[in-house]
Structure 1
Amino acid sequence: MVAFGLEITPRPDLPAIVARWQREITAQELKDGYFAVLDAADEHHCWRWLLDLRRREELTSPELDAWLETDFFVKLPHRYTEPVRLAFLVSPLRALQARAASSVATISSNQRPNQGYYTALFTDEAAAYQWLAQ
C-alpha cells in the first residue's frame, strides 16, 4: 500500500509492519501515515513496526509532538497482546542530529511499556529487526 508518501508492507515472516516514507511529507500526511500504519497493524494483528524515516526530513513542532502524545500514542495500550515496538530507522547523520532536540529523539528515548509501547532509534536495519524480535 502506498499513500501519504508512505509505503506500508506487512512482513509476516518477521513478523512486522514495515513503513517507509518515500518523499518529503506535510504534517497532515504524517498524521494520516501513522494512522495508516495503525490500520495495517490492526489488520495483521502485529505490534512490531519498523518506521523508515531515511527519505524524509524531520517534521517537528510542539503541535505534532502534542498530537503524537494526545491523539496517537493513547490508542496503543492494550490494543495487541504485547506492547507496540516502534523501531525508527534513520541515517547515521540524522542519528547524530537526533541526539539534539528532535521529535524522533524524544519519542525514541521514552520507554513506556505501561502506556502500550516501546521505542528505539536505529541506523542499521538488521539491528532494528533484531530489537523488534525481542
Structure 2
Amino acid sequence: MSLILTARAARLMPNFGLDITPRPDLPAIVARWQREITAPELQAGYLAILAAADALGCWRWLLDLRRRDELVSPELTHWVNTEFFPQLPGRYLAPVRIAFLISPLRAQQQQSASSVAVISAATQPEHGYHTALFTEEAAAYQWLGS
C-alpha cells in the first residue's frame, strides 16, 4: 500500500479525537490527540495507530498527549499491559519505539501508578518494545531515530 493511500485511509477512519500522520522523512508515525477523549476512544485510537503502523511497517511512533488529560484507571492499565503491548513483539523488523510527548507542566505533576509516565518508565525491550517520555518534540524524534 502506498504512503498516500495509507495517509488517506488514516484520515477516513473515525478519528477518536486523534490525527495520525505518517512521517516518511523520520521515518515514524505521529499520532496527536486533539481533544479530551474517553477510555473507549483511547483504546480505539491505539488500535488505529497499530493499523496505520502495520500498513507502513513502521515501528517508530510519536504519541502526542499534550492536548488531552491523563486517562488513568486500573482497567486501562490492564488493557495496555495485557492486550495492547503483547501484540507488539515480532510484529515489525525492529522492536517498537514509542515516544510519549507530554507538556512540561504535566511532567512535573504527581504521577499515579497507571499514568503514561509510569508506563513509559517500565519499558520492556525484552518484550519487543521501548518507551520513553519527552517534553520536547525534537528530543523525541532524536530518540526515535536512534
TM-score, normalised by the number of residues in structure 2: 0.88
Question: Which structure's CA Rg is the greater one?
Answer: 2
AA aligned opposite 1:100: Q
Which of 95, 120, 130 is the equivalent residue of 2:107? Answer: 95
Alignment correspondent of 2:49 = 37
Q: Note the alpha carbon deviations across 1:41-87, whole angstroms, 9 max, x for none.
A: 00000000000000000000000000001110010000001110000
Distance 2:139 2:18 in 1: 22
Alignment correspondent of 1:13 = 25
Q: Tell whether 2:94 aligns with 1:82.
A: yes
Q: Note the alpha carbon deviations across 1:92-114, whole angstroms, 9 max, x for none.
A: 000112x5325201111012111
Contact 2:88–2:96 (8 Å) recurs in 1 = yes
Unmatched tracts of structure 1, length 5 or more: none
Alignment correspondent of 1:131 = 143
Alignment correspondent of 2:69 = 57
Unmatched tracts of structure 2, length 5 or more: 1-10
Runs of 4+ residues over 6 Å off in structure 1: none
Give me the identity figure in percent.
68
RMSD, aligned CA: 1.0
TM-score, normalised by the number of residues in structure 1: 0.96
Instruction: Number of aligned residue pairs: give it.
Output: 133
